[in-house]
Structure formats: structure tokens, C-alpha cells
């Protein structure tokens, strides 16, 4: 089945490309989500007009993305999480956490644009890529700090023996 892509689709093609896909993928995924349309002669004529409009739109989106990169580069997000002795986190920092941190700083970034292959699970400093446009990627710093668990353990330790002494009497 030949389709014309209306939007960029990862691992398939860019907006305006005519690609050959499996029947089921085209009918069940691309067409219902309006990511593509069937490649008929009339649609191919329409797509030529769409390509020129898409080129103009892509240029303006790229300019906006480059301006946003300049604002995002100095941002440093800091997260405090409970961790074990080796610096491994009990939880993790995900792309949703990073998106929420950016939103609190005034940046509305979709979590799917954050290029995080797997959640961050250790204490330290990390560089995280954010793909704002097909050709524009921003890098932000993410710091993960261990929560002070030792202080809580020290407070809890003296309380327990006192409770045992009163129970023994």
C-alpha cells in the first residue's frame, strides 16, 4: 500500500514523502490517526501544494525552535530523591518528571520530545537532549541529589531503644 505522509513518522519518513507500507499498518495506524493519506493521482497533485506550504511552515518552526534552544540551554533542573548507599535511586527520574520541571520553569515541552532512552536511576549530573524540531536539539542539565536519609535514621534509632526499655520494665 502506498501512502503520502502528512506528518513526520519516526523510522518511516518525513511529511510529504510517498512511502510503501504494509496494508495493516496503513489502514489501522497511519490513516485513522491522520498521519497519512492514500497515494492516488489527485492526492499526489495536492501533496505538491502541501510540500511547499510544509517547507515554509518547517522553516518558521525551526526558527522558533532555535530561539527556544537559546532559552533552554542555561536551564539546570535539580531533583531530590531517596537513594541507597551506592547512589542508586529507590525510584527514578523520568521524562515526565523532566517535563514537569520544565513546566515549573515556564517551558511547555511535551514529554515525548525529551530524548531519554531509559529513566535516570542514579545520583549525579546528566545531560538530557530535547528534540524541538527535526534538525534542532537542545541539551539541558539534570542534577539528581540524594535525600538526607541518614538524618532520619539517626533520629529513629534512639527512639526505638527507649521504647524497648519502657516495655522491659
18 contacts 3 by C-beta, under 8 angstroms: yes
Q: Are strands 136-146 and 124-133 parallel, antiparallel or unpaired?
A: antiparallel
**Does domain 71-149 sit in CATH 3.40.50.970?**
no
| SS3 category, 86 | coil
CA dihedral 106, 111, 115, 117 (to 10 degrees): 140
Nearest to 4 by CA among 43, 32, 56: 43
For the chain, the domains span 2-54, 71-149
The per-residue pLDDT for 149 is: 53
The per-residue pLDDT for 164 is: 46
Q: Which CATH fold topology does 2-54 show? A: Ribosomal Protein L9; domain 1 (3.40.5)
User: CA-based diameter of the chain, in Å?
Assistant: 93
The three cell numbers of residue 131 are 528534540
The per-residue pLDDT for 150 is: 52
Task: Encode 102-165 in three state secondary structure.
Answer: HHHCCCCCCHHHEECCCCEEECEEEEEEEEEECCEEEEEEEEEEECCHHHHHHHHHHHHHHHHH
Per-residue pLDDT of the chain in tens (169 residues, 90 and over written 9) = 999 888 888 889 887 888 999 999 999 999 999 999 888 888 888 877 877 887 888 888 888 888 988 988 898 999 998 988 888 888 889 999 999 999 998 888 888 899 998 999 999 999 999 998 888 899 999 999 988 755 454 455 554 444 444 444 4
Amino acid at each position: 500500500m502506498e501512502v503520502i505522509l502528512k506528518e513526520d513518522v519516526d523510522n518511516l519518513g518525513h511529511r510529504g514523502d510517498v512511502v510503501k507500507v504494509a496494508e495493516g499498518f496503513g489502514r489501522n495506524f497511519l490513516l485513522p490517526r491522520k498521519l497519512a493519506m492514500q497515494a492516488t493521482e489527485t492526492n499526489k497533485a495536492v501533496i505538491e501544494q502541501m510540500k511547499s506550504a510544509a517547507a515554509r511552515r518547517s522553516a518558521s518552526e525551526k526558527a522558533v525552535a532555535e530561539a527556544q534552544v537559546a532559552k533552554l540551554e542555561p536551564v539546570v533542573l535539580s531533583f531530590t530523591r531517596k537513594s541507597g548507599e551506592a547512589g542508586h535511586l529507590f525510584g527514578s527520574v523520568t521524562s515526565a518528571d523532566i517535563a514537569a520541571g520544565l513546566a515549573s520553569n515556564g517551558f511547555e515541552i511535551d514529554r515525548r520530545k525529551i530524548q531519554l532512552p531509559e529513566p535516570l536511576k542514579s545520583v549525579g549530573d546528566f545531560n538530557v537532549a530535547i528534540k524541538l524540531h527535526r534538525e534542532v536539539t537542545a541539551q539541558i542539565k539534570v542534577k539528581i541529589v540524594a535525600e538526607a536519609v541518614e538524618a532520619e535514621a539517626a533520629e529513629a534509632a534512639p527512639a526505638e531503644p527507649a521504647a524497648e526499655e519502657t516495655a522491659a520494665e
